[in-house]
Each structure stands twice: as structure tokens, then as C-alpha cells.
Amino acid sequence: MAATNLPSAMDVDEAAIDEGLYSRQLYVLGHEAMKRMAASNVLIVGMKGLGVEIAKNIVLAGVKSVTIYDPEPVQLADLSSQFFLRQEDVGKPRAAATLPRLAELNAYVPVRNLGGQAGQEISVDLIKGFQVVVLCGVSLKKQLEIDDWTHQNGVYFISADSRGLFAYSFNDFGPKFTCVDPTGEQPLSGIVASIDKDGEGVVTCLDETRHGLEDGDFVTFSEVQGMTQLNGCEPRKITVKGPYTFAIGDTSNLDDYKAGGIFTQVKMPKILQFKSLRESLKKPEYLITDFSKFDRPSALHAGFQALSQFEEQNQRSPRPRNAEDAAELVKLAKQIDADVDEKVLTELAYQATGDIAPVNAVLGGFVAQEVLKACSAKFHPALQYLYFDSLESLPDELPTEEDAQPIGSRYDGQIVVFGKNFQDKIANFREFLVGSGAIGCEMLKNWSMIGLATGPNGKIHVTDLDTIEKSNLNRQFLFRAKDLGKFKAEVAAAAVADMNPDLQGKIDSKQEPVGPDTENVYDTAFFASIDGVTNALDNVKARQYMDQRCVFYLKPLLESGTLGTKGNTQVIVPHLTESYSSSQDPPEKETPVCTVKNFPNQIQHTIEWARQEFDSLFVKPPQVVNSYLSEPNFLENNLRYSGQQKEQVEQIASYLVTSKPLTFEECIVWARLQFEEKYSNSIKQLLYSLPKDAVTSTGQPFWSGPKRAPEPLTFDSNNPIHLQYIIAAANLHAFNYGLRGETDPAVFKKVADEVIVPEFTPKSGVKVQINDNDPTPSNDNGDSDLADYLKQLPAPSSLVGYRLNPVEFEKDDDTNHHIDFITASSNLRALNYSIAPADRHTTKQIAGKIIPAIATTTSLVTGLVCLELYKLIDGKKNIEAYKNGFVNLALPFFGFSEPIAPKKSTYNGIDWTLWDRFEFKNDPTLKDLVDYFQREHKLEISMVSQGVSMLWSSFIGKKKSEERLPMKFSKLVEHVSKKPLPAHTKHLIVEVMVSDEEGEDVEVPFIVVYL
């Protein structure tokens, strides 16, 4: 076997993966990679802040076992960043004290302590039997000894260390490591328009869809007519010819190409060679983390070696901000590399005893992902050194040597870097955390370690309306199984107050979500009481709302998000940077309605169709029936304006009269008839209207390219997909009527097979919508049927109190038949159109719009956010000090950029940005406002609006104008909107349109009117 690191089928224990727990992570790593992880035993040496961060992420991810080694006694300063140690653990062996809290993170991963005596270093004898060994904060001499053995013996080796704001890691996965999937991106595929038969074999893709391939990618084919030798061929290497064309090499000996075909990218394994640590010290390979610090890695490469020498010679680390020790370290470094940057290495010496939680979070997230790469062969490992620093986070006024001396507190690891004065600033900061899911939990953990808000004036507010679900436990590490169903914000707040008792009484947890409805809770007084906001949200709408509030109240905002192995961070500073809403992602591509309705060609299309089917069978009809029964004159008021009168009345009649089931058996019969209608009759009708030999106006076959001709299905109760549909549909229909469900397949088979299905005859003259731009065809029989259906409807008064139960879609409950129905429904339609079906897990992601997530990315991104928080606490005024970050752990890639300054506009020679505004106090009149602009700025107001109301414009007529100009703003708004202002309203945001003396339109800032 060439690929040495991939286990043979024999090695993997086929334990089923708990999809409920690992759901979001499975969408990042996939089942194969997780099965390989389940065969890996990992050893982590060193259980200070960095070691425990790595261990936490690996235990959550789910490997076979994690063993920790650190027999040294716990010191008070360890509490600077080791979140699983407590004050009472001081003096106990570090690994033994950490083990119980680490072990309860994941019931599937046993955590063991390797034991050892204080003063006993790790040795080669102790590391045998592990697949991956991680050394944290171990001397260079010891690293070399261990790596010499692991490099020869097929064990993956990682060493890492963090000192203050500096960190590094090193990977050695042996001379021949196979990486199965370097990027983790979905394989690309597309529809073929033509393939040349010649020496080059150029493939042209259909319909101007870019293929997205790169030179050196591999593809295979399916459904090619004519040149059939390409179907399922060995992967062929391609060269890109253009955005819509690529060449696959010689096709001249194949049959002539006729039509059709789909290309699919094939992920090819990549073999990587790692140098040993000894060799790498002399010839290092760096992963650059920040291109603005291009020469930093080589300086730190020499610096960390010099630090190891210093510590060996002096049996201690350089003292905090001690010039003498720093000079000695720089001298040692210059012997290794004469050109090192002295300033940077002086800081390294100053911070050598520092221990900063956010730096450990960044490095710990990164290293843990590298461990998972070693175990699973999924994603590209780092080659081979990573050096990272965040010197920009130091305060503008650097601490003195005296200010940086440890004081015997749990924050000493931070005080030696930032100084005691800055520690007091951190302790008295007041921050609002919006959301306490994955990023929120990590954020609170970092904040509790750095001592945020632990001082007399400090305060943390955290809000989240969600309760804890099982799938959260895989990365929201403050929650345990015993917390299921409780409020996230409360559990998270209690958990971090336990990590750092200084936070007792300092965290205020809320359940009110942020939004226009809660502006009485998060009001002017609330925003006046905080120094900044950190978003830990999962949707753009809430992010934009918080951004708008921060702009209004002039508060800095820290923004971040993750998607699988990708993460980004953004810092928003009043007057200095643009806001979150200043730039937007392009909108997501939507599938054309016709494609979903009649011409699907991918499984995504059939899943989207099935998701709509779920709503139109089990959600909307019961809602309409309930409205009919409870709202007076429902039919007259609602149906008069809807174009689908007949359908809606027919639906009410069907759900209340003609198809209303009284027993569960009738639900099975209903489901069997639904199957016939959806997967047989409607397909027969489509093929009757558009036969398989139909041609377009230009004489081309209609069913070609992306349009796949369907086939009706014949029901077969022995086919598991057919039966699954009946079981799920019948149970959901029964739920609508409050009937008891059933799961025994034999019952369904028996009833479904006895159903007498009416003969179907296609109708002629039924039009099919082919393009989204075509008018929607109306194939109805006029109003005569409508009257018949109306006669069937029972009067609502005859059914007082009777209601149906609409289904509420819930993707994470595996017993409720929701995802089962969508999977079966989508796969039946896929069978109609010869599309490869998808399993339940894939269907659940697409139908439930699940965002893939993994703890490693969350940890790293949150660390980066907290490094920006230090800068905000310091109140830095230089935009160059701040960094927005983008990472992709799969590649691995780091990119940092300076935030963008806000766009400048001008009126009358005055510059302004989105952070500026006009302010009017004491509820002025509209006339006061108009006169002010005329008098002070020579600007003529032509329109005044507030929210959705137009309060005044120059063309509303003399009478209205005379009435409104003298009104005070509060009265004017109530007068126009015909609604009283809520009692908590203290101000109004007003927009005006103005023009200058030349009559040119001029943009001006918004106006705040204080009432």
C-alpha cells in the first residue's frame, strides 16, 4: 500500500458516529475522516493554557482517546489562561487537576492521565502507542529527542509554544504523508455541451456556466452519449482553456461525441514530504500568517531558539521587561542569524513569562486542526513552521519594568505583558455580548481568563434567546448534557463565573433578542452604560441591526463569523473605520422556479422541491383551515385578492371534508394517493404536454442539456424509498389531525398495497411554464367548480373550537418524520429524473440550511477578536493598529488587512462620514428644523421622513404644510403615523432631502431629534 498513513479497513472500529452530537462538524469533515479520527490516540504534553486549549478542541472533535501528561504542580499564574484549573488546584499535579473537567466534554472520548513525577520530563518510552504526539512548552533539546524517534517510527509530531503575544507551532508528519482532500471544497461538476474528438480533447460546458476548475485538477464523466468510453473513466488531468472550456487530452481513439454528459471533479490524494525538526531548524519552511510582517518568521525562528538556550543556561526565563536579560537573548539570537530584528526579539524576551488566553486560543485552534489533519488525512497540513504575533495589541503607553512585575495574582501571565495599570483598565471595561452560541461561549471563556469586567466598574451583558440542544454540545463547550433545554446565556454566564470567581455578580444574562421590539430594554441608558459591543450572531439581519445601533450610539463593535474551516473577524471603530453594513456579500444564487417545478437536474433542486412540498401538505393547509374556522369573513377578505381562489377553497374542502381522516389507516391511504399524484400522474401529464421527442422552435430536442426527461414511478411497497415516503407522509398527516401515528412497516405495506388507485388520463391543453419569465399558465375550469366547493364547506359555527395542528419544521429531532419525509420525497423525485439520490444526512443540511461548524475555527476566530479587544480597551486612534482577519484552516491560510476608513461625503465644504449626525434637543418644531438648515447651512429642505412615514415635503399642499410646520416632532410623528409613540422613545431618527443654493441635491448626515 503506497499511502502509509491511511488505516486499512481492518484498523477502524466501526462504531456508529453520533450524528445528533456531531451533526454540524460532520458537514465540515465528512464521515470518512471522522471514522479515521476514531482510530487515533493522541498524546498532549504540557497542560498549561495552550495545552488545555488544544486538548479541549480535540476532545470535542472526537478522536479515539486523548492522553495528557504534565506532572508539574499547578501555580497561581497558570490561571491566567488555563480555564480548567481552579484556585483550589494550586499545588496539585497539573494533568491530574485538569483531567475531570476535560473528560466531561465528550462522553465518546476517554481522557487519560499518563502520570509521572514532578520534575520528570516526557521520554521516548512514554510516547509509544500514540498516533499523534503534541508537545507544548517543551525545551528544544527534548523536542529534538522526541522528533528523532517519531520521524523514524511513523508517529505524527507537533510542537507548539506561546509566550506573551508570540506563538509558534511546528509539524512533522513524516517523510511520506498522504493528504486525501487538500481543500475540503465540494467537488465541482457541470453539464457538457460538446467534446472535441482530437489530440487535445476540449470540453465545452453548457450555457455559459463557468466550470471553476484549475490546471492540474482531475475529472471523470457520466451520461455522455456517443463518446461512452468517458463514462466512469479513470480520472483525467485537465488544462484550463477558458472559463467555459478545458482540455482532457487525446480523445481521437474514442467514439464520436453525440450529446449530453456531466463532468465531475475527482479529488486526488497529495503526497507530502516533511523534514525532521533537526533538518528544519537549518532549512525552515514557513507558513506566513501576516504578509505585512514578511521578515517576522525568520526573526522569531532565531528568537525562539535563543530563548531555549537562555533558559537552559540560566535555568529560568528572561525577567519581565528586564533590559539585561533581553540583551543577552538578542546576543544569542544574533549567533544564529546576524540580521534579526532586535526590537522584536527584545519584546520576545520581555514577554517570555507571559501567558495570554487569546493567543492560546488562536494557536490552540490552529494546532488542534493540524492534529485532526494528521488523524484523518483531510485538509492540507501546514508546512512546517507557523510563527504568529500580535504586538499591535500592546498598549500605546508601554508598561515600565516595575509596572510589569508579577503581583501574585491569577492575572500575572497578562500583567507581565501589559502591566498592572492596563490590567485595571481591562477589569473596569463594560462590554455587551450579543449571542452565546459557539463564538459566544469561546468569547466568555477568553474574557473570564483575561479578567474583563472583574473590577469595581466592570460589567458584561450577554443575551441569547436560544435554549441548548444536543447538536450544540459539539462546539459550545460551556454546555453539558445536563444543561439541555436551559437558556444558553444563563448557563454560559454561570459556567464562566465558575472558571473565574472574580466574575460573580458581574455578568448580566438576558433572553430578550436584540431588535426593534426590544429597544425599550436596550435603550439609550443601556448603551450609555457600556463601552462596546461584541457580536456572536449567526445571521446577517441581526448583525446589520446591531451595527446600526452601534453607529447610532457611537460604540465600537467586534464582528466575527465562521463557516466550517473558514472564519473572519472585523473591527468597527467609531469615526475610524467603515461599519459592518458598509460592505455586503453578493446575494446567494437562487434556483429558477421552473427548474425546481419541472426541470430539476441536481439533487439540490429536488430537495428544494421536497421542502416546499412539506410546507404545502403539512403546514399551510392546516393554517388556512384554522384561519377559516377562526377569522370572521375569512373567505371574502382573503380570497378576493388572491389569484388562487379555487385552489384555496378546494384545499379547505379537502382538509375539512373530502379527505379528512378519522383513523390512521385513512392517513396511509391518503399518503399512497399523494405518491401516485406526485410521482406518477403529474409526470405523465408533463410528458403528455411535452413528449420525449418534443423539439424547440429552432428544431433542437427539447429534453436535452439541463432538461432531463422524467419517468413516472410505479409504486412498490418493497422499495424502501417508496415505503419511507408512505410512513413519513401518513404520520405527518395524522399529526395534523391529532391522530396517533405508527412506525411498524408491515402495517403500512398491508394498507398501501390494498389501496385502489383511480386510473389517470392526461388532460390536453395543459400549458407548462418553461422559463421564469413566461407568464404562469392558468389551467382552471372557471367558476363553476368554485361554487361546488363552496357548497361543501361546513360553516365555521358548526365546528366551534375545532382546529388542525400545523407542523412546525424541526430538523434536529430524528423521531418527528420531518427530515424523513423530505429525504424520501426528494429521492423519489430524483428517481423520476434519474438524478443520484442523497442520504438523509446530506438532505438534512440542504433542507435545514445548516451552517457547517467545528470547534477549532471558532476557537481561533474568537482569539483574534479578543486581540482586537485589547486595542479597543486601550482606545487606539490609529487605523493601522487594527486588523481584520480571514482564515481558512483547511488550506491553511491566514490573511490580515487594515480596516477600511469610512467613505467621506461633503456639503458646503464640510466633510462628513456615516458616524456624523445633526442633533436637535427638546422636541423642536418642524419649522425650527427647516429654518436651521436655511440659516446655518444655506440648504433648502425638500422632504422630511422618519422611519416609513413622510412627515413633510415641499409638494404636499399649502393647507397641510401650514398645519404641520408649527407642530413639535413628537406630535407630528403621531399625527402622520396615526399611532402614539411608545413610552420608551427618547429620540427620533429623521432623514431629510436638501438642496443647495444652486438647486443641486446635497447628501447630509441623518438627524437625531431628542424628545
For 676, the grid coordinates are 401516485
The backbone torsions φ and ψ at residue 937, rounded to the nearest 5 degrees and listed phi first, read -125, 0
Q: What is the DSSP string of 85-133?
A: --GGGTTSBHHHHHHHHHHTT-TTS-EEE----TTPPP-GGGGTT-SEE
Q: What is the DSSP string of 453-506?
A: T-STT-EEEEE---B--GGGGGT-TT--GGGTTSBHHHHHHHHHHHH-GGGTTT
Is 702 buried (19+), middle (13-18) or exposed (0-12) by CB count in 10 A?
A: middle
Beta strands 132-136 and 41-45: pairing type? parallel
Say if CB 82 and CB 47 are below 8 A apart.
yes
Closest residue by Cα to residue 981 from 1007, 1005, 1002, 1011: 1011
Please list the residues that pair with 462 across neighbouring strands: 433, 509
Distance CA 65, CA 38 (A): 8
Please list the residues that pair with 943 across neighbouring strands: 953, 993
Say if CB 419 and CB 350 are below 8 A apart.
no
The backbone torsions φ and ψ at residue 148, rounded to the nearest 5 degrees and listed phi first, read -55, -40
CA torsion sign for 158, 159, 163, 165 is negative
For 180, the grid coordinates are 486525501
Distance CA 360, CA 167 (A): 8
Terminal alpha carbon distance of the chain: 78
For 819, the grid coordinates are 427530515
Find the length of the chain.
Answer: 1011
Distance CA 693, CA 672 (A): 31
Distance CA 681, CA 664 (A): 25
Say if CB 410 and CB 80 are below 8 A apart.
yes
Please list the residues that pair with 706 across neighbouring strands: none
Please list the residues that pair with 944 across neighbouring strands: 952, 992
| Residue 389 backbone zone (phi > 0: left; psi -120 to 50: alpha; other: beta) | beta
Three-state DSSP state, 510: strand
Helix (H) or strand (E) holding 32: helix 19-37
Beta strands 236-237 and 239-242: pairing type? unpaired
Beta strands 557-563 and 111-113: pairing type? unpaired
Query: What proportions of the chain, in percent to the nearest 5, are helix, strand and coil?
Result: 40, 15, 40
Say if CB 932 and CB 940 are below 8 A apart.
no
Planar angle of CA 397, 398, 399, nearest 5 degrees: 115
Q: Which of 205, 441, 594, 667 is catalytic?
A: 594
Distances in Å between the alpha carbon of 659 and those of 265, 310, 737, 758, 808?
48, 85, 11, 15, 22
Distance CA 29, CA 58 (A): 13
Closest residue by Cα to residue 300 from 335, 348, 252: 348
**Residue recorded with cell 460546458:** 205
Q: Is 594 a catalytic residue?
A: yes
Say if CB 671 and CB 733 are below 8 A apart.
yes
Dihedral of CA atoms 588, 589, 590, 596 in degrees, nearest 10, equals: -140
For 430, the grid coordinates are 463594560
Catalytic residue ranges: 594
